[in-house]
Amino acid sequence: MKVYFIKTKHGLSPRFDSDQESLDLINNGTVFMKGFKLLRKPEFHRLVFRFLNTVFKFQDQFDDFEKFRERVKWYSGSYSTQMIDEHVITTLDSWSFESMDDMEFKALFKRIKTACWEKFMPSDRGAANLLSDQLLEYD
């Protein structure tokens, strides 16, 4: 069972009605322990993807956004490797909302911005200046 809470000055409260309904299934007096995970702010998640969409519009290497995003993952170091039967297997990491907390995602965004500045700036000076102006809004 997943239950979302919001911290208030009075303590933790269920975030949604469905979370309260889940808690109501547990008998009063029942002792349970659960670790907490701080979730990312949805606004920040959307900001990162607006950033990526802005860069995508100016780059000329990819026609497909998903292919572009995969390359950004690669350039930003958002992958893991493992050895299987003497072969190196590389897997791109997930950027899903649940896969990392705010601090991890902020560090990732810094790497994303660096990768985009280094790898996807347009060669046309006017377009590069326009993109630069737009990307500075994300700092």
Could you report the per-residue pLDDT of 82-110, keeping only the tens digit for each?
Answer: 999 889 999 989 888 777 878 888 899 99
87: Cβ contacts below 8 Å, ≥ 6 apart: none
Give per-residue pLDDT as tens, 118-139: 999 888 888 888 888 888 877 6
**What pLDDT was estimated at residue 72?**
96
Amino acid at 109: F
Q: Which 3 state secondary structure label does DSSP give 129? A: helix
What per-residue confidence (pLDDT) applies to 81?
92
Beta strands in the chain (DSSP E): 5-8, 11-14, 79-84, 87-92
- When mean pLDDT is compared across 15-24, 33-42, 69-78, the lowest value belongs to 33-42
For 17, the token pair is: 């009605």
* Cβ-based neighbour number of residue 59 at 10 Å: 18
Average model confidence (pLDDT) for the chain? 87
- The residue ranges of every structural domain in the chain are 1-36, 42-136
Sign of the CA dihedral with 105 first, then 106, 110, and 113 last: positive
